[in-house]
Amino acid sequence: MPITPGASARAAVPFFQANAGVAYLDSAATSQRPERVISAEADFARRDYAAVHRGSSLATGEATWAFENARAAVARLVGAGDREIVWAENATDALNMVALGMADASAGLGGERFALRPGDEIVVTEAEHHADLIPWQRLAARTGATLRWAPVDERGVWTLDGLRGVVSPRTRVIAFSHVSNVTGLIAPVSDVVAIAREVGALTVLDACQSVPHLPVDLRGLGVDFAAFSAHKMLGPTGIGALYGRDELLDELPPARTGGSTITTVTMERAEFLPAPLRFEAGTQPVAQAIGFGAAAEMLSEIGMDAVAAHERELAGLLVDAVSRVPGVRLVGPEPGQERAALVSFIVDGVHAHDVGQFLDDKEITVRTGHHCAQPLHRAMGVTATTRASASIYTIPDEVARLGSALSDVRGFFGADR
């Protein structure tokens, strides 16, 4: 029987069979894995485990076939060509590949179109995850470029007008998240791409919180690079993907070098393979790639339109569950505005960590802290928030339990007096 979002998808995930009483609302951090994904990785390890792209044995050929089929499955899910998907350790690693490649280009190691000079500008938003901020900080420091950012308001939301205000003819890169991991804001990607093209800037998209939840066509969106992680989309940890337009990947200097990336090596120099292999130095996480591919195939079969429809309903339920509780403040887009199925909130008079522990005692798993977005929280005037997030297997009952428990938090800690 085909799997559908909600209870059907939940039944396919062993975690919920082992933890029947848990309301798991932390999928934005790490999603649970279906049996199909676990089995794909385990079966490969049992039956087909071998080196890939090395040697001419039958075992190597079978392993390479499975490895590249997984790449193709991930590429299909996001509207990319097979050569446009590079394996990375995770999305953080993928974003660093771009920034470090641009640093090497700026040092004269190839890829002149990626070279930055003093006075050039890199633009981000104040809402970025540290993974999409720190690499650009360091690239600016290495090259003399200037880092600029679109500001957020008191709810943590940035605007296109704010972005336009910091983009100039010297802007060379605009890096931003498709979906904020704190506010759930869904960025107007096509509009940002248009702004970038007006000044000839590259666009780098953090798609960690969009690829698992929305139909994403990276070619159609027009971005130059994008990054996402398997462990947020039903897959294993230890692997992610960098998307890049093939002509850009073929010119970007590889951030890591060594075996499997080269065509010719002498004692003086090396020449590199075309993408994606030029970026995949050393032994790759082959079993994890198989799991990643299985997760992508499963999402494709279910249909991302169906996933998005399911999560739109959950987004509304999450917003209602948080907004109706006195003394609990929702951050991000106002109720009624579009957002992902993710809510962060502040409970007046109670620290986020205490909120999280209270909910955990009631078997409701959420995330607490600054969510690797300290500048965003600082701009909102808080040190931490509590975040609840949904996925394909989340059901309305879990959200109802969250709302019920939240109504008791302030009383438990004496903050309602």
- For 90-119, what is the mean pLDDT? 97
**Residue 372 falls in the annotated catalytic set:** yes
- For 69-77, what is the mean pLDDT? 97
Q: What is the pLDDT of residue 43?
A: 93
Q: What is the pLDDT of residue 50?
A: 76
Active-site residue (options: 372, 382, 400, 415): 372
- For 341-369, what is the mean pLDDT? 98
When pLDDT is cut at 50, 70 and 90, the band that residue 262 belongs to is: confident
pTM: 0.96
* Domains of the chain with CATH codes: 7-30+303-412 (3.90.1150.10), 41-301 (3.40.640.10)
Give, as one character, the DSSP assignment of residue 110: S
The token pair that represents 335 in the structure block = 């109720």
Q: What is the pLDDT of residue 62?
A: 82
Outline where DSSP puts E strands in 160-304: 171-177, 202-206, 225-229, 240-244, 262-265, 270-272
**Are the C-beta atoms of 263 and 271 separated by less than 8 Å?**
yes
CA atoms within 13 A on the CB side of 116: 29
pLDDT in tens, 116-156: 999 999 999 999 999 999 999 999 999 999 999 999 999 99
Q: Is the pLDDT of residue 59 over 60?
A: no
Q: Is the dihedral of CA 112, 114, 115, 117 positive or negative?
A: positive
Q: How large is the angle between the packed helices 396-412 and 304-323, nearest 10 degrees?
A: 20
What is the number of helices (H) and of strands (E) in the chain?
15, 15
Count of residues for the chain? 417
Give the angle subtended at the CA of 127 by the CAs of 123 and 129, to the nearest 5°.
90
